[in-house]
Amino acid sequence: MLQPVQITSEEKELLISWYRYGTSTLIRHRAHTVLLNSRGLSAHKISQLLFRDYKTTRNWLVLFKQLRISSIFDRYRGNSNASKLTSSQKKEIKKVLESPPSDYGIPKEFWQVKDLKKWLKARFGVVYKSDRSYHFLFELSRFSWKLPDRFDVRRDDEQVEKRLQEIRKEIKPYLDSPDWVVLVADETRMMWETEARRTWLKTNEKTIIKVNRSRDYQSFLGSLNLKTHKCHLHSLPWQNQVEVLKALSKIKKYYPNKKICYIWDNAAWHKSKKIREALKKGNLLENFHLINTPPYAPDTNPVEHIWKYVKDKVAYQPATTFKQKVNNFKLAVIHRKFKYPI
């Protein structure tokens, strides 16, 4: 009778990774077979669970005892491509990945698979044929595959934080006063165009998606009330001082007999001649107090986070017309509270 295989913790980690993310069903089944057998299940029982021939399942286990991890990769059998790393080597890799690659002679700001492959080969002499093995090392080091935030080269983080502290100090008495309303605002534009995303499609078959080539768009002004956490949404034909003034006049009607602290970015039309004129006593915005957010720091504006949430939500909602998409956008804003602080 074939005795159950004994696997180390490092082998278990690698087998679990290949079982979950293996590049083929065969690799996943081989890894699964070893994991199940290490838990005490017989080759016969495993063959029934995986709908595999008993002799095949038994051979996989025999090969694993001889070749270890490399046995699950049929075309890598007998070479060093599937060499496993020791626990101490993984710790060293994790420590290295915590620093930018430029610290290790690789002139780059962010780690990539080819950078890790180059360093791993030079340091330990280990080369994996599959990129998935390098992905696994990134995951062990608490990396995730995502888009980085964009950073304007003109941004000064120290000045941004200083300006934010000034704004928070300035609006604190307004937030505490029943006579004041504090709104944070931002504009955005939504386009009507088809966005194609990758998906699993049948090989050797051409897949066609009918797309809408029109370039319709709709601009919005969002004003988030920092007390109620509700966001006012106004449609704008254009993003300019004339249309913004019309929207501000509507906001004024929402809060009769109230003073309004209005915080927004440094767009040119926010400091235009007509805006400055409207702020004078007796004019449209006489009860408004305008504050500008730090320059080149859109992420400090809470409404930017609202736009991201809503656009992501609308992107996955079916819409056959632009009017329907605009309606989906509006509903996603007006029916939710957004507790984003400044």
Tell me: the pLDDT tens digits for 52-98? 999 999 999 998 898 888 788 755 444 434 456 777 888 888 888 88
Are 98 and 124 found together in one domain?
yes
Q: Choose the final residue of a domain: 76, 96, 120.
A: 76
Please say if the pLDDT value at position 128 is more than 90: no
Task: Report CA 97 to chain centroid distance, whole Å.
Answer: 20
pLDDT at 78: 41
Are 55 and 171 found together in one domain?
no
Question: 3-state DSSP call for residue 265?
Answer: coil
Are 232 and 292 found together in one domain?
yes
Mean pLDDT for all residues in the chain: 85
pLDDT at 81: 42
Residue 99 resides in a domain = yes
- Domain boundaries, position 99: 87-140
Are 101 and 58 found together in one domain?
no
pLDDT greater at residue 110 or residue 260 = 260
Are 94 and 175 found together in one domain?
no
Radius of gyration from C-alpha coordinates of the chain = 30
Are 299 and 179 found together in one domain?
yes
- CA 342 – CA 333 distance, rounded (Å): 18
3-state helix, strand, coil in the chain (%, to 5): 50, 10, 40
Highest mean pLDDT among 100-104, 288-292, 311-315: 288-292
pLDDT greater at residue 248 or residue 317 = 248
pLDDT at 233: 95
Q: What is the pLDDT of residues 161-217, one digit of tens each?
A: 999 999 999 999 999 999 999 999 999 998 876 555 556 666 667 666 665 556 688
- CA 225 – CA 220 distance, rounded (Å): 16
How many domains is the chain partitioned into structurally?
3
Q: What are 212's two structure tokens?
A: 């809408």
Residue 127 resides in a domain = yes
What is the mean predicted confidence (pLDDT) over 309-336? Answer: 86
| Encoded amino acid at 307, one letter | W
Question: 3-state DSSP call for residue 234?
Answer: strand
CATH of the domain at 300: 3.30.420.10
What is the mean predicted confidence (pLDDT) over 309-313? Answer: 88
pLDDT at 211: 59
Residues 5/65, Cβ–Cβ less than 8 Å: yes
How buried is residue 153: exposed, middle or buried, by Cβ count under 10 Å (0-12/13-18/19+)? exposed
Are 71 and 94 found together in one domain?
no
Are 221 and 324 found together in one domain?
yes
Residue 147 resides in a domain = no
